[in-house]
Structure 1
Amino acid sequence: MNAVAKPAATEVAKPAATEGKPDISRYTGAEKAAIILMCLGETAKPLWEMLDEEEIKEVSQAMSSLGLVPAATVETLVIEFVTKMSGSGALMGSYEQTQRMLQAFLPKEKVETLMEEIRGPAGRNIWDKLANVNETVLASYLKNEYPQTVAVVLAKVRPEHAAKVLAELPEDFAAECVQRMLAMEPVQREILEKIELTLRTEFMSNLARTSKRDSHEMMAEIFNNFDRATEGRFIGALEERNREAADRIRALMFVFEDLNKLDAGGVQTLLRSVDKSDLAIALKGASDALRTLFFSNMSERGGKILKEEMAGMGPVRLKDVDAAQTRMVALAKDLAARGEIVLSDGKAEDELIY
């Protein structure tokens, strides 16, 4: 029960070490407890009631991230219930199932608090969780606290994270916090527990409720997958109802013409990866500037062949151009995610210095 719960892949079961008995040593104590409690269902209520809050939290976290647990592993873990389990097969641990099970024996408010923490930043304790909170978000909260409190918090998190948070705080306030850290005496356990409680109840709980994905960002991704006509129709309709929302979505969208922001190395990397037929069709509907960018980063022979291919195509349907451009944008995003190219959003911090 005191082992750290390791998240499992959602869809991939942990393989057995041998062809015979499954290797249950791959599961932590919290994960084993979660599997057994899931098997018991509501009959496990007396066991849940014997756990303290931290243990419930740890087992709940493990349960929500179990993914698929093979039936053979389940039977090994709860061999005394093998007859009952052999009929139901494998188990799937999920956030939703964990929430339903906890609601059977815990007050609604307590369940909501637990699930918010599970959904929030990962970590065994409050300090681990803070290490996974964006430094700007954490600094925005801490700047309203007493410098001494901030000093205690920054002394407890990793030095590299503390440095980033300090850089985000107002200069004078940050300097005062540094002074407090330099002169800090060992913190009394009662004071530390009070700070931990405040962080958990006021900051982390609120963060879990408010850190939902921005709806405009979600809609921008959806709009990126529309063909040009559909995108124009929806954007136009939205502009009539809420121009501000339409403008925000448009600003968040990454469209084919944004490839114009790639540097020479990025264009060449994309050219090496893209399907040549997609490239020819996509450039048929591109601006002169974007065509020039791509041709200027190709060999003379390669550019000539591509131009001849484009000329030989004749008229191309708009939907085919849209589809090819969409695939190129998706490829560019994938390359960016792997760190092979940089997709600039036009911010100063994305500019390259030579």
Structure 2
Amino acid sequence: MAINPPAKTAPDVKSLSGTAKVAVLLLAMGRELSGTVLKQFDPDEIKIVTRAASELTPISTPELESIIEEFAQNFTAGPNISATVGELEQLLAGVLPAEQISDLMSEVSGNKTKSVWERISFVSESLLANYLLKEHPQTAALILSRVKPACAARVMSHLPGDIRHGLMRRMLSLKPVVEDAMSIIEKTMHEDFMINFERNLAADTYPRMADIINKMERAQMEESLKSLAESRPKSAEILKGMLFTFDDIVNLTPKARMLIFDQVPTDRVVTALKGADATFRELILSSLASRTRRLVDHELANGVPANHREIVEARRVITDLALEMAGRGEIDLNPDEEDQPLFT
């Protein structure tokens, strides 16, 4: 930590962001106290504050006092502060695992290679899957081999089976890539994802919101959409078109319903159908194999009660399965009008 002579000009901390001010205070507190505070942060918050600390210009004593006063802390004096990456690493030592500290330090110290792949691992899996479908399979395999395994698994679940299997074979036989070629790939990925990251997030907002609303109970869903329609009618209309609930299963083709319920355990079907009206129940029963239908009919006839939470959860799991199958192209949630069953 470097001590600089106090600035002669009047302190001006208005230009500092809130994150930068947090970084100043942590550095002023020292390792022990700041370590206690950092334990309350999640990994993303630590990364943001660490980056802000590494970019700090020297802070004079009057400026530090002004920041302390703003945070309403009981400080009266402090050193002028700037920080090196080494000092930041010492600050985090003992607070975070060594591997996590290494990742943070490599990013703030300008290790662009690791930073790019680290950040891409947090890009929406649907966006990354669509991106890879447009790339040469060998390039797609290389990209998947560089991102985090959890990210690669999620992305692969969005790819058609034949493409997924082909990429896995290519990943198993990947050879070392020359540095120049890897640099080109990393630069391209940086431009396509990092520079346009906010745009990608915006494009993914509606699917994420639809997924959240889909998991609400029916009454909460309708209330949320009604409230949204009052302030943002176009957004509400877009979201309505993306929603799919348990009740919407009746609008699927018989084949789609059969494909869904072939993968649902009998006890879950029984729970999901409790409390459903007779017409809806009959439509679902007609989608089951003969033996499964007899078992479900028998269980429903026994009239063993299930609480509301169990019923909602069973229906939600079936709805999530339908959405996953639609995402893989196995069923169509919006069949052509002439193919839709009539349900009154």
- Structure 2-normalised TM-score? 0.43
Query: Which of 1 and 2 has higher RCO (CA within 8 Å, sep 6+)?
Result: 2
Q: What TM-score, normalized by structure 1, do the two folds share?
A: 0.42
